Amino acid sequence: MPSTNPDVKKPTPEIFLRAVDLTPAPAEVFDEAYEATPQYVPWPKAYGGDMVAQSAAAMMRSVRGDRVLHSMHSYFMRPVDIGVPVRYEIEKLRDGRGYSTRSVRGFQNGKIVFTGMGSFQVPEEGTEYQPAAPSHLDPEELRSAAEVLTDADGAAADYWATGRSFDMRHVPGPVYVSVDGGVQAHQAVWVKAFASLPAAADEHANADLHRAALAYVCDYTILESLLRVQNLHWSSPGLVTASLDHSMWFHRFGRADDWLLYAQEAVSAQRNRGLALGRFFDRNGRLLATVAQEGMIRSGS
């Protein structure tokens, strides 16, 4: 397992791009397989967004180009080792005229570490509805993670500041080393890739890359509203968190290298588990995606 991250001082989306760089592999269980490598984090096990984005990218590779991913549902089965490839096996459950269904299982060290399903639709015209986007300060008026953590030391601070491929700016404030903004059930995070994501070979593949980027970045902060309601922060003594299951619905296309508002709320916390919801809006107020995630949260307090 790598002990240091060579990219933490360079704000670049390369970590995300390496995470979703799939290599075709022989299928041992189902119909199609790809390998991808979990990227560095300054903790013992891999970041859950790696598995969400990698599995989404693998499922997207397995469908015809006339349909797009509109929902995915995931379970994190075991902790995943950093730097050790995960093999994603795709089962082609159904290809209909308007929809396709895929299942995915991630294998590492001979064990299932991740399982999920995805549904794809041939786009249609229909009635539009969405809730209004919440009103918050523009991202340019907020401090970046690097600015917030100027005086903080250590591998975690470096990673939060520049090592996650995305600029993240919190409203009302981050929960890195304190509960900035107070105890409440809501928060929002402006997110944007540190640089423009590369243009893919065709429009369909390009849209898939940006969907994978949303699937990747969504897991970084989705549990923070649950930390906030318990007056916890990422540096709280004895804090242990883990993603348990995850669902995501893609409503409209948007670019992950433009500023997106990720509005989040705590739904319920009990028995060291919590459920949180998140919604991605672009700067024009269009709802791009909705996220629901349950996580384990244990604290030493």
CA 278 to chain centre: 11
Q: Where are the beta strands (DSSP E) in 126-259?
A: 166-171, 186-193, 240-250
* Among candidate residues 201, 34, 62, the one with its CA nearest the CA of residue 119: 62
Provide φ and ψ at 207, rounded to 5°: -65, -40
pLDDT in tens, 87-112: 999 999 999 999 999 999 999 999 99
40-91 residue pLDDT tens: 999 999 999 999 999 999 999 999 989 999 999 999 999 999 999 999 999 9
Q: Which residue has 């997110």 as its token pair?
A: 191
pLDDT tens across 231-261, in order? 999 999 999 999 999 999 999 999 999 999 9
CA distance 263 to 86: 31
Packed helices 203-221 and 48-61: angle between N→C axes, nearest 10 degrees: 160
pLDDT band at 2 (very low <50, low <70, confident <90, very high): very low
Report d(CA 8, CA 12) in Å as an integer. 9
Indicate if the pLDDT at residue 212 is higher than 90: yes
pLDDT for 200 = 76
- pLDDT greater than 80 at residue 301: no
Q: In 3D, which of 165, 186, 222 has the Cα closest to residue 48? A: 222
Residue type, 29: V
pTM, two decimal places? 0.95
How far apart CA 13 and CA 213 sit, in angstroms, is 10
